[in-house]
Amino acid sequence: GAVVSQHPSRVICKSGTSVKIECRSLDFQATTMFWYRQFPKQSLMLMATSNEGSKATYEQGVEKDKFLINHASLTLSTLTVTSAHPEDSSFYICSARDLKGINTEAFFGQGTRLTVV
């Protein structure tokens, strides 16, 4: 299957700083990428849908000014957690769908474990 690479896999940052997470589709083009968050012992929750060349669509309750999403090309979407706080510590995972065809499956990155201290 297609490969989605997410970087970094783990990051520790100080409270108040910003962290950028990258999601790349390595061997296909993706007009749409999705960002999920998973708190310990909870489900993966969709945060936002990232559309190439346009603004992201955020799910209810997700602060768009805190979680900045940029999808500047068909192979790269970035999620920036601004002014991170300990409560933002979580597992963030992206997924991307191949541009070709319809009803194609989404491919997931390996996730990023963010710890804010």
Partner 1 sequence: AQSVTQLGSHVSVSEGALVLLRCNYSSSVPPYLFWYVQYPNQGLQLLLKYTTGATLVKGINGFEAEFKKSETSFHLTKPSAHMSDAAEYFCAVSDLGFGNEKLTFGTGTRLTIIP
**Chain contacts with partner 1 (rule: CB under 8 A):** 1, 4, 6, 9, 32, 34, 36, 41-46, 49, 93, 95, 97, 102-111
Backbone angles phi, psi at 65, to 5 degrees: -80, -15
> Whole-number minimum distance, CB 65 to partner 1, in Å?
22
> Whole-number minimum distance, CB 16 to partner 1, in Å?
29
> Whole-number minimum distance, CB 15 to partner 1, in Å?
27
What is the Cβ-side half-sphere exposure of residue 26, based on CA atoms within 13 angstroms?
Answer: 10
> Whole-number minimum distance, CB 55 to partner 1, in Å?
17
Nearer to partner 1, 45 or 82 (CB): 45
Nearer to partner 1, 32 or 82 (CB): 32
Nearer to partner 1, 82 or 98 (CB): 98
Give the β-pairing of 112-116 and 10-13: parallel
d(C-alpha 19, C-alpha 21), whole Å: 7
Backbone angles phi, psi at 87, to 5 degrees: -70, -10
**Closest-CA residue to 92 (of 69, 112, 65, 77):** 112
Nearer to partner 1, 9 or 73 (CB): 9
